Amino acid sequence: MVVDTDEIDEKGAEGFLEQSVRKIIDEYMLDVEDPNGILYVLKRDLLDLGKLSPLMKDHLVEDISCDGAGIPVYVYHRTHGSIRSNVIFNDEDELSGFVIRLAQKCGKHISIAHPMQDATLPDGSRVQMTLSSEVTTRGSTFTIRKFRENPFSPVDIINFHTMSPEMVAYFWMAVEYGVNALISGGTASGKTSTLNAIALFIPREAKIVSIEETREINLPHPNWIPGVARSGFGDVVDGKLAGEIDMYDLMKAALRQRPEYILVGEIRGREAYVLFQAMATGHVTYSTIHADSIKSLIHRLEGEPINIPRIMLQSLDIVALQTIVRVKNKRGRRCTQIIEIIDIDPVTKE
């Protein structure tokens, strides 16, 4: 079977594969009891993610992680929490080959020289992977955070008890009145899902620019520019790889695109300074940050490498704190506090 990759796209690959297999069966008059079974295995192994395909197709599975060869793959299920699956990569050769293929499907390169990679699958799912035992002593690993094609709506976060109806109504008013907000919380506390749900309140025709390291935000708005950082290559120039486009570069570019709303997937570095300058000059901004309390949030914003002067923090209006809770032995995501930032106390400077 000869395939000219210049003449076939990903959407047509499945049809091409089916047509070619049936043609081979007919030409060689093969006695095949179940051609559909053969097609399923070929599609699974050549076009999808092999033995992970059933997990990727389960809409209730949020995360998929492999900790090494010979160790069962674990999934995080929306209803049942962390579950051990029956999927196992039997040896390091099989697992390393899968990780290399995973990187290739993302359009990235991973090798012993560069054994760590963050990437995005064609369907939008986030992938973090390591190769061999260079940086992870149990061998190659990967974690897939599945992309939700239909993002959580405000109704969803009410139904999941992440926020009360009153909290959602509060953010609806905040968006309409152009209030700046940060969604703060720990890892996997639902910060980006909440940010995406709140962003659905933005007027449909408003100009929106989003900035992320890996694509997560998903909006129906037609006047929306989704910006994604790009890895560099080659020699190091001015402290970063040639061709690298980081969050700071995207943030500066966003301010030249005349946005009405700026969404930043997560602030963690010098792009935060430009974001707060945007707040101070009248741009409405929403973002997420890793911090589990208002005190730790202020420390993160003022400390390295973000370095926001305390006087500029007054540009921020609202902070929503999210956390993971246990309810009847099940994990849930909850917005525990909404804090309004009014001013700096002239006595305590807090």
65 and 200, same domain (yes or no): no
| pLDDT per residue as tens, the chain (350 positions) | 555 544 566 667 888 888 888 888 888 888 888 888 888 888 888 889 999 999 999 999 999 999 999 999 999 998 888 999 999 999 999 999 999 999 999 989 999 998 999 888 988 899 999 999 989 999 999 999 998 878 899 999 999 999 999 999 999 999 999 999 999 999 889 999 999 999 999 999 999 999 998 888 999 999 999 999 887 776 777 777 778 899 999 999 999 999 999 999 999 888 999 999 999 988 999 999 999 999 999 999 999 989 999 889 999 999 999 999 988 777 889 999 999 998 876 666 56
112 and 218, same domain (yes or no): no
Contacts of 155 (CB under 8 A, 6+ apart): none
159 and 132, same domain (yes or no): no
Measured in whole angstroms, how far is the alpha carbon of residue 156 from the centre of its chain?
A: 19
Q: Where does a domain end: 92, 120, 145?
A: 145
23 and 138, same domain (yes or no): yes
289 in a structural domain: yes
Q: Give the C-alpha separation, 314 to 295, whole Å.
A: 15
58 and 83, same domain (yes or no): yes
- Specify the CATH number for the domain of residue 186: 3.40.50.300
Q: Where does a domain end: 145, 165, 192?
A: 145
Q: Give the C-alpha separation, 350 to 342, whole Å.
A: 11
346 in a structural domain: no
Q: Where does a domain end: 145, 168, 202?
A: 145
222 and 258, same domain (yes or no): yes
134 and 167, same domain (yes or no): no
72 and 185, same domain (yes or no): no
Give the count of domains, the chain. 2
Say which residue the tokens 């990903």 belong to.
Answer: 10
41 in a structural domain: yes
Range of the domain at 101: 5-145
Alpha helices by DSSP H, listed for 43-182, are 53-57, 92-105, 154-159, 165-176
Nearest Cα neighbor of 319 from 292, 337, 333, 345 is 337
